[in-house]
Chains A and B, each alone.
Chain A
Amino acid sequence: GENVEQHPSTLSVQEGDSAVIKCTYSDSASNYFPWYKQELGKRPQLIIDIRSNVGEKKDQRIAVTLNKTAKHFSLHITETQPEDSAVYFCAASRDSGAGSYQLTFGKGTKLSVIP
C-alpha cells in the first residue's frame, strides 16, 4: 500500500518568514495530493490540493509543488502569520479502480509562527 513520509515533524519560524514542509510518497499510481491544516482540538481542514497532471498550484500565501518523477510534493507558506500556527498534514490518494479514493496521511508537521 501507499506510504507517505513527512518532514520536518516540527518547524518554528519568525513571523513574516517562509515555511516549507516536504512529503514523499511510494505509490506511483497516486494522483491526488491534498494538504490539511488542523488546529488544536479542531477538525482537519483542506487548505490546498494538487493533481498529478499539474506541477504547481498557488492560492494567495500558500503554494504546493509536485515532482512526480521523484515522488515528492511540498507545501510553501509565505509571509507567515501567528494564525498559521497549527499541525499540517500531507496526504496522497489514487482511484481504487471503483471510482473511490482512500487518503494516506503523513504524520504531520507542527508549525509554530513566532510573533
Chain B
Amino acid sequence: DAGVTQSPTHLIKTRGQQVTLRCSPKSGHDTVSWYQQALGQGPQFIFQYYEEEERQRGNFPDRFSGHQFPNYSSELNVNALWLGDSALYLCASSLYRREEKLFFGSGTQLSVL
C-alpha cells in the first residue's frame, strides 16, 4: 500500500520564477491538502482539494494555486517566487468528510535564490 508520494524531493529556483510541485495521495484517499513548513516552524495550511475543486484556503496569496486530477493526484503551483517562499512543502492526504487523520508525504524542499 503506497503512502503519500511527492516529487521532486529538492528544487532550486531563482526569484521571479514559477514552480510546480506534485503529490500522489495514499491509496484509497480522495482529498489532498498542501502545507508550507518554514525552517524551525510548524506546517502552515495552504489549501485543500477534493473532487478537483479547492475546498478550503489558508492565508496565502493568489501566487499559490493548485489543481487536482481525476485520479486524486494534485499539483501546487507558485508564481513569481520570493526568497520567503523557501520552505519544505508538504502534501497530506485524507478521506473527505469521513476522517480527520492526515497522512503526510516526505515533502519537497524548495530553495529560492
Q: Which residues of A contact B (CB under 8 A)?
A: 1, 4, 6, 32, 34, 36, 42-46, 49, 89, 91, 93, 96, 98-108
A49 contacts B42, CB within 8 Å? no
Give Cα A91–Cα B41 distance, bound, in whole angstroms. 13
B96 contacts A100, CB within 8 Å? yes
Pick the residue among B45, B90, B96 that contacts A44 (CB under 8 A): B90
- CB-CB under 8 A from A98, the residues of chain B are 55-56
Could you list some 21 contacts between A and B, CB below 8 A?
A: A34-B100, A34-B101, A36-B104, A43-B106, A43-B107, A45-B104, A46-B101, A49-B101, A96-B55, A98-B56, A99-B96, A100-B50, A101-B100, A102-B48, A102-B56, A102-B58, A103-B45, A103-B102, A105-B44, A107-B41, A108-B42
Given the interface pairs A43-B106, A45-B104, the reply to whether A100 lies near B97 with Cβ below 8 Å is yes
- CB-CB under 8 A from A100, the residues of chain B are 31, 48, 50, 55-56, 96-97
The 7 closest A-B pairs by CB, nearest first: A105-B42, A99-B97, A43-B104, A101-B100, A43-B106, A32-B100, A44-B104
Give Cα A34–Cα B90 distance, bound, in whole angstroms. 17
Given the interface pairs A43-B105, A46-B102, the reply to whether A96 lies near B56 with Cβ below 8 Å is yes
Q: Which residues of B contact A (CB under 8 A)?
A: 4, 31, 33, 35, 40-45, 48, 50, 55-56, 58-59, 90, 94, 96-97, 100-107
- CB-CB under 8 A from A45, the residues of chain B are 104
Give Cα A32–Cα B56 distance, bound, in whole angstroms. 17
Q: A34-B101, A43-B106 are in contact. List 4 more A-B contacts (CB 8 A).
A: A46-B103, A105-B44, A107-B42, A108-B41
